[in-house]
Structure 1
Amino acid sequence: MHPLLSLCVFWLLPVALTLEEDSPLDCRPRRSVPYHRDNALLFREDGVFNYSTMLLREDLDLLVLGAREAVFALDLKDISKKHASVKWEVTEEQEEECKNKGKDAETDCKNYIRILHKTEDDRMYVCGTNAFDPECDYMSYADGKLTLEKKGEDGKGKCPFDPFQKYASIMFENDLYSATSMNFLGSEPVLMRSSPVSIRTEFKSSWLNEPNFVSMTQMPESQFSEDGDDDKVYVFFSETAVECDCYNKLVVSRVARVCKGDLGGLRTLQKKWTSFLKARLDCPVLESQLPYIIQDTYRWCDPQQRWKDCVFYAVFTPQSDTSDLSAVCAYSVSDISRVFAEGKFKTPVPVETSFVKWVMYSGDVPFPRPGACIDNAAREEGITRSLDLPDRTLQFIKDKPLMDQAIQPIGAKPLLVRRGATFTSIIVNQVQAADGNKYHVMFVGTEDGTLVKAVNYDEEMFIIEEVQLFETPEPIKILKFSNITGQIYAGSDYGAVQMPLATCGRSSSCMDCVLTRDPYCGWDKVDRKCVFLSNSQRELIQSLKNGDASLCPEADPIKPVNRSIWPGGNLKLRCTAPSNLARTVWERDGNPLTPAARLQFLGDGLLILNASDSDAGQYRCLSIEHSKADEYSTAVAEYQVSIGAVGTGGGTPTFEAQVNGPSVAGLQVVIALLVVALLALFAWNFYKGHIPLPWNCGKKTRQQSQVTSEQGDLYQNAPRPALAEDKPLVVGTDNGRSNNNHAGEAASGAAEENEDPMVNLPTLKYIDDESEI
């Protein structure tokens, strides 16, 4: 090895080990909850799919749910209860026209509800793909009924044509802001405000280049603004990077921003955004070579703080198949605003080759600043609206909407990195714990239909649990949270579910409750159970940052379960760790056990093989779990095993009751069916003559004594037997190895061909023992 290469290897080794120790890739959920119907309340209707659009109408105690060709009004407290529904189906003519354009009749040529927003007059604005011809309408809820007004507004630019194309929209002060495609082919992406004056983006690759829109939100930046700033609308998306100097397409994540009061330019950028700016979003994930792609965002704001303290949480996935990591990054709104207000621009520069290179713009920036909203400084210059902006400013933003500086996440690293589970959506809730501190709990949906619940404790990411919401793995497409009910709502193709923020009852002991480190849950010493924090007025035991289970009172001893086994038998003692982060160890009579040929350590228990007298004793299964505070062990199961002598009463083994196995009644039914089947089999064999009747046995024995084994070719001349019961089963010359059925068929077939008198047959052997069959 080259000396310099060796030096590099030894120098990088400690760095690699440090990265491995600090790697967040081993972040596993403490508890994995498999699917159970009690995990969440489910709503679905037969024949209806794609429950992916939700509107919380907390003023009406409703969850309005948009699906394929239907809208449902569900009880907000229990979505399994439907109050009303309305169908919005495509006509036969629309479906036929869609098919003629080359689309699939069963998947594409339906009406997928994609937009649901509340209007200021308490109606709802709803749009659907409508067989690749998007249409919008107004809908009202009154007297327990949903009603479409059937106004039939054009939905182009508001709602996607393709039901599987990503999009984003919000309704802000009765103005619809939408990010989708303007045409059937999806080749004209647009960020548009539909009313009162229609404003949209330019059809230029420097503005939007093959984008996938993710989400949209508004920020009230005019509130308490010292500069007289305007409110903003932010849109998150991914697109092919125009600034990338590379041979292959590179996709990057973006955030763009426009001003609410933008009316477009007077001559340049007429009816186009004069405030459109965009910047790259970075979410640096360990070992990633390519930028990660944004999939969903959630804006969290403290109602007692200003807008600058708001945070955007975003989920990212890799753009190549070489990685199976997903990540969550958080971004400060003030950081994003600062890049747009003070950052440098990128500018295209033609080079000698055929492509255009994007570099940082270092020239003079005109006033008012390109992309800025109308503020007090502009008003002092007589510019009170975007129509008053000079052409120099407008031409600048038309050519250079991209910022040079990328926006980095809070802490310059992800909050959560997870291997294996592909993240799809996210919501965040703030909770005040027993220690008085406030924590942000993240609920992340995955492609497998699970909901990951995680908290960041002083830069330590801790996954509390992962719950399977649907019986079959269904990607979670949307997540919503209601402050009134304190419930989470999730939608997928299969259906919609509702679940609480926490299910504290899953922890049956104080140690388990504390080590779960769930800010919603604490151990009640009086009631001796893990309870929801807001449901108790007493002081609860909770240790979120350290997981200090020493605060718990001493647990009640476990009552041993008696087990008995005979010598040479096998016995399984069940024990399941209460946590994915715990390991189990076994003790016998207070001494630790080690795996051996006759002692097999399984994931769910201990298997004793070929038992002997030395295997008798008291067995104890301990769960050992490490937290930041200490390592804790607790007894999970205890057994008293005795060895009984064969042939004595004590030798009868005691088996474990099957928790999920068949019932006794079910077992009796199975045995009865087997007996009936066996009797039917015997009857059939009697009928076919495969088994002789008792009164023919003596007769057959006398016939057997008269035949000789020397007549090997007599099968050809054998007549048909008079009775079916007289058919031979086994030919003696074959020593019982020939096939019984074939022998009988041969004899019968020969008899049919030759009607000569009866001839002697070879010596036959009958099967007397059933085990020889």
Structure 2
Amino acid sequence: MNKGAMHPLLSLCVFSLLLPTVALEENLSPVRRPRRFIPYDGNNVLLFREEGVFNYSTMLVRDDLNLLVVGSRGAVFALDLNNVSKKHASVKWEVPLKKVNECKNKGKNPETECKNYIRVLHKKKDGSMYVCGTNAFDPECDLLSYTDGTLTLAKSEEDGKTKCPFDPYQKHASIMVDDSLYSATSVNFLGTEPIFARTSPPMRTEFTNYWLNEPSFVSMAQIPESKGSEKGDDDKVYLFFREIAVEFDYQNKMVVSRVARVCKGDIGGERTLQKKWTSFLKTRIDCPVLELQLPYLIQDTYLWCEATQDWKSCIFYAVFTPQIGTSDLSAVCAYKVSDMSKVFSEGKYKTPIPVETSFIKWVTFNGDVPVPRPGACINNEARGIGITNTMLLPDRTLQFVKEKPLMDEAIQPIGRRPVLIGKGAPFTRIIVSKVQPPNEEEYHVMFIGTEAGTLLKAVNYNEEAFIIEEVKLFEESGPIKILKTFEDKLYAGSDFGVVQISPSNCDRSPTCVDCVLARDPYCGWDSTDGKCVSFSDSNRKLIQSLKDGDPSQCPKVDPKKPVEMFILQGDTTRLDCPSPSQLAEVHWEKEGLALPPSAHLHLLEDALIILSASESESGHYRCYTVEKSKTSIHRSTVIEYHLHIYSNDSEVDPLPQTSGPSVTGLQATLAFFVVAFLALLAWNFYNSHIPLPCNTKKKNVEPQQNPDQEAPAAAAAAVEKKPLMSNPQNNTSNNNHTEMDGRSTTDGEDPPKPRLSTLQFIDDESEA
């Protein structure tokens, strides 16, 4: 929050005068949580990172070169568009030592701030790339080319002021339109002079807080409003940002979200606003979240336009986060471009009026609006009165827009409510992809990056938001800084690297019920192959119920075979129950009856803990989940256990296993004793200690045994008489329970040794 800004909670009374309370019904826009969480080790992504390189925050998709060009700190990489883990080329762009020292002498950190962070990366018409970096608080731009598998910088050392920020941590935005760079950044070392500028023909904003008041820039987008326009309108460039609201008391600084726009054909005024925007207008953009009245702050936008439709059908998706310390909810709101255009082209203006001494109050302007309309592009109406470019606009129109760039009406989202509200790590980035399953309508799937380095996958079904999953993309926790998409691939960048991920990943659903309850518009259940597959990869009719999440069409499955568990009385054990859904309630039952928690039984989200097991804990346990869909409630068995409790003096064999590491150890022990016995027998025959039948005669008296033979004979007897099961009293509580699949619960410890009867049983099984 900016210096001098009041605490957000004190702004409630101020903002409530501007923003009417929007009461959202719980069933229309409730807070959502992901149905499934995918940890880093199961995310199935392709990763690129290079030792010593940091901040992979700029991306450019070059499908003509089959490359993903990535800008980082001190380097640019050309990665394979189909496999980002494969690097085709790279070029370093580091700061000379002299400049690093200059930066250090100005009070900046030489290890972090006095580096070259790539912040601008755009394609030009000739195929080259325009790239700019912070260059140790002295921004610089250059041309980048890719030829014969090599990235090359032209080393033109072009001044980057007005194009790229000085400070690598300062927010900025840019877009390339017809080889002209539109940029929103700061033009001085201290970052106190914000500007929204264009390189050619050169244009910029006024240095006044009426236009930009301590802004934090977010994003830009071009809208081709001239296409098919009956009024002969011009294309627009929209800028999204946050700033301190001038319409509030200057002592009560409160940040609000804004959208501004300029005309592509704007070349400034002749006398007033020379080389400055004559079409710069801005207004507040709202995303009302539940009953909260403080304005949410815009963090990123994504423009969705249908290729076959005109610009009026385009939608801006935007992510918002709360004012500091007011909430842990983030939101996505969607806006029609046509609604934005209407506010700027037809809406009323705000005007500043002095109150008392130096206080300025902004109110609705109800006076006469000059002609041509202030802030409007040159259109047929203007041309009809001889005004063919902005330099011919009258001073009255220019003076009006110079003093009153703020519109009275705020932009409201579609439905006047968020598309999605999520709880947890704040949202940082958003990208939207379209998918249309067979015989279904078209859906917009939102992929949302978070501060925790995770990616949310969400969709809206008939005004019902649903978060399919949350995937941890990087092992380290840090914000997702950029998202890009191309065809069926998603790319994400953070401080720690670049990842590529498929938008579908249907194989994460192991059963038909889970596949349907996931409600993923990319996926359906293939009954023939018995797996969840992508619609695009199958010609069969797949089972899915996107709007209702109804798995009633799924084929019945065979009952699960219980896992046999053997527990020593008095021990503590854990019965795992990995639920496939975070939206499901986990329940336990024993012998068909609900299992309530007690002093000995602790029910966790993913397990049942049994403390000091007694004989009463023996029996059949079942873990199942209960998950609600729009139409019904679904129960699914996750796992079943058959628990056996035995005591130290129990005669019951606790290990009827036929495979696994414990059985392997027993078989090895048996083999050792057999080999030792045969070797000892052969040694005795060789030394004639045991006479062969052909060399012996019947004698009535046993010969006296040589004392030297007593030790080997005793050893042989000891081998034959040694019990093959250790005393239960010597067992430790760490290895007394074993599952039927033979997996040992501890590593590096000797397995229990069975009795001879058990060895016979195992030996019979191993010979089968």
- TM bucket (normalised to shorter chain) is 0.7 to 0.9
Q: What does residue 651 of structure 2 align with?
A: 648
Q: What does residue 359 of structure 1 align with?
A: 363
Q: What does residue 595 of structure 2 align with?
A: 593
Partner-residue secondary structure (3-state), 1:576: coil
Q: What does residue 451 of structure 1 align with?
A: 455
The Cα offsets for residues 381-440 of structure 1, whole Å up to 9 and x where unpaired, read as 111111111111111111111101101011101111122221111101111024421111
Q: What does residue 163 of structure 1 align with?
A: 168
Report the alpha carbon displacement of residue 316 of structure 1 after superposing the two structures with TM. Answer: 0.9
Structure number with higher relative contact order (C-alpha < 8 Å, ≥ 6 residues apart) = 2
Q: 1:569 to 1:300 in 2, by over 3 A?
A: same
**In the TM superposition, what are the counterparts of 1:303-314 in structure 2 within 5 Å?**
303-314=307-318
Q: 1:391 to 1:557 in 2, by over 3 A?
A: same
Q: What does residue 187 of structure 1 align with?
A: 192
Partner-residue secondary structure (3-state), 2:41: coil
- Counterpart check, 1:31 vs 2:36: yes
- Distance in 2 separating the partners of 1:613 and 1:164: 63
Q: Is the 8 Å Cα contact of residues 584 and 628 (structure 2) preserved in structure 1?
A: yes
Q: 1:660 to 1:323 in 2, by over 3 A?
A: farther
Amino acid at match of 2:300: D
- Counterpart check, 1:122 vs 2:124: no
The counterpart of 2:47, out of the listed 42, 49, 53, is 42
- Counterpart check, 1:578 vs 2:661: no
The counterpart of 2:90, out of the listed 80, 85, 92, is 85
Of 635-644 and 225-234, more deviation after overlay is shown by: 635-644
- Distance in 2 separating the partners of 1:312 and 1:500: 23
- Counterpart check, 1:467 vs 2:467: no
| Structure 2 alignment gaps of length 5 or more | 1-20, 656-735, 752-768
- Distance in 1 separating the partners of 2:31 and 2:393: 54
Q: 1:20 to 1:222 in 2, by over 3 A?
A: closer
- Counterpart check, 1:208 vs 2:291: no
- Counterpart check, 1:96 vs 2:101: yes
Q: Is the 8 Å Cα contact of residues 245 and 254 (structure 2) preserved in structure 1?
A: yes
Q: 1:38 to 1:579 in 2, by over 3 A?
A: closer
The counterpart of 1:62, out of the listed 62, 67, 73, is 67
- Distance in 2 separating the partners of 1:35 and 1:454: 19
Report the alpha carbon displacement of residue 657 of structure 1 after superposing the two structures with TM. Answer: 8.8
**In the TM superposition, what are the counterparts of 1:265-284 in structure 2 within 5 Å?**
265-284=269-288
Q: Is the 8 Å Cα contact of residues 568 and 737 (structure 2) preserved in structure 1?
A: no
- Distance in 2 separating the partners of 1:282 and 1:107: 35
TM-score (norm 2): 0.82
Report the alpha carbon displacement of residue 658 of structure 1 after superposing the two structures with TM. Answer: 11
Q: What does residue 517 of structure 1 align with?
A: 519
- Distance in 2 separating the partners of 1:356 and 1:214: 27
Q: 1:572 to 1:668 in 2, by over 3 A?
A: closer
- Distance in 2 separating the partners of 1:330 and 1:451: 19
Of 117-126 and 627-636, more deviation after overlay is shown by: 627-636
Amino acid at match of 2:608: L
The Cα offsets for residues 594-634 of structure 1, whole Å up to 9 and x where unpaired, read as 22333332322223344444433332211111111111111
Partner-residue secondary structure (3-state), 1:531: strand
Report the alpha carbon displacement of residue 304 of structure 1 after superposing the two structures with TM. Answer: 1.5
- Counterpart check, 1:336 vs 2:419: no
CA RMSD, 1 decimal: 2.1
- Distance in 2 separating the partners of 1:67 and 1:263: 34
Amino acid at match of 1:412: R
- Counterpart check, 1:602 vs 2:607: no
- Counterpart check, 1:72 vs 2:72: no
Q: Is the 8 Å Cα contact of residues 569 and 614 (structure 2) preserved in structure 1?
A: yes
Q: 1:549 to 1:275 in 2, by over 3 A?
A: same
Q: Is the 8 Å Cα contact of residues 562 and 640 (structure 1) preserved in structure 2?
A: yes
- Distance in 1 separating the partners of 2:457 and 2:92: 35
Report the alpha carbon displacement of residue 41 of structure 1 after superposing the two structures with TM. Answer: 1.2
The counterpart of 2:239, out of the listed 212, 235, 244, is 235
Amino acid at match of 1:452: L
- Distance in 1 separating the partners of 2:742 and 2:166: 51
- Distance in 1 separating the partners of 2:742 and 2:471: 22
Amino acid at match of 2:550: D
Amino acid at match of 2:625: S
Q: 1:349 to 1:19 in 2, by over 3 A?
A: closer
Of 77-86 and 596-605, more deviation after overlay is shown by: 596-605
Partner-residue secondary structure (3-state), 1:358: strand
Amino acid at match of 2:133: G
- Distance in 2 separating the partners of 1:657 and 1:495: 43
Amino acid at match of 1:375: N
- Distance in 1 separating the partners of 2:392 and 2:356: 38
Amino acid at match of 1:415: V
Q: What does residue 495 of structure 2 align with?
A: 493
Q: What does residue 331 of structure 2 align with?
A: 327
Q: What does residue 560 of structure 1 align with?
A: 562
- Distance in 1 separating the partners of 2:750 and 2:221: 62
The Cα offsets for residues 127-179 of structure 1, whole Å up to 9 and x where unpaired, read as 01111111111010011100001111111100111111000001111111101
Report the alpha carbon displacement of residue 639 of structure 1 after superposing the two structures with TM. Answer: 1.9
Partner-residue secondary structure (3-state), 2:163: coil
Question: Aligned residue pairs: how many?
Answer: 649
Amino acid at match of 2:581: S
The Cα offsets for residues 711-749 of structure 1, whole Å up to 9 and x where unpaired, read as xxxxxxxxxxxxxxxxxxxxxxxxxxxxxxxxxxxxxxx
Q: What does residue 620 of structure 2 align with?
A: 618
Report the alpha carbon displacement of residue 363 of structure 1 after superposing the two structures with TM. Answer: 0.8
Report the alpha carbon displacement of residue 511 of structure 1 after superposing the two structures with TM. Answer: 0.3
- Distance in 1 separating the partners of 2:422 and 2:624: 29
Partner-residue secondary structure (3-state), 1:104: coil
Partner-residue secondary structure (3-state), 1:337: helix
Partner-residue secondary structure (3-state), 2:83: coil
- Distance in 2 separating the partners of 1:102 and 1:463: 45
- Distance in 1 separating the partners of 2:211 and 2:743: 59
Q: Is the 8 Å Cα contact of residues 434 and 542 (structure 1) preserved in structure 2?
A: no
- Distance in 1 separating the partners of 2:353 and 2:515: 61
Q: What does residue 111 of structure 2 align with?
A: 106
Report the alpha carbon displacement of residue 36 of structure 1 after superposing the two structures with TM. Answer: 1.4
Q: Is the 8 Å Cα contact of residues 445 and 459 (structure 2) preserved in structure 1?
A: yes
The Cα offsets for residues 521-557 of structure 1, whole Å up to 9 and x where unpaired, read as 1101111100111111111111111110111111232
Q: 1:43 to 1:660 in 2, by over 3 A?
A: farther
The counterpart of 1:348, out of the listed 345, 348, 352, is 352
Q: Is the 8 Å Cα contact of residues 213 and 243 (structure 2) preserved in structure 1?
A: yes
The Cα offsets for residues 476-506 of structure 1, whole Å up to 9 and x where unpaired, read as 11111112xx111111111111111021111
Q: Percent identity?
A: 63
Q: What does residue 290 of structure 2 align with?
A: 286
- Distance in 2 separating the partners of 1:290 and 1:659: 58
Partner-residue secondary structure (3-state), 1:394: helix
Q: Is the 8 Å Cα contact of residues 24 and 418 (structure 1) preserved in structure 2?
A: no
Question: Stretches of 4+ moved more than 6 A in 1?
Answer: 657-663
Amino acid at match of 1:655: T
- Distance in 2 separating the partners of 1:616 and 1:657: 16
Q: Is the 8 Å Cα contact of residues 434 and 540 (structure 1) preserved in structure 2?
A: no
- Distance in 2 separating the partners of 1:301 and 1:631: 38
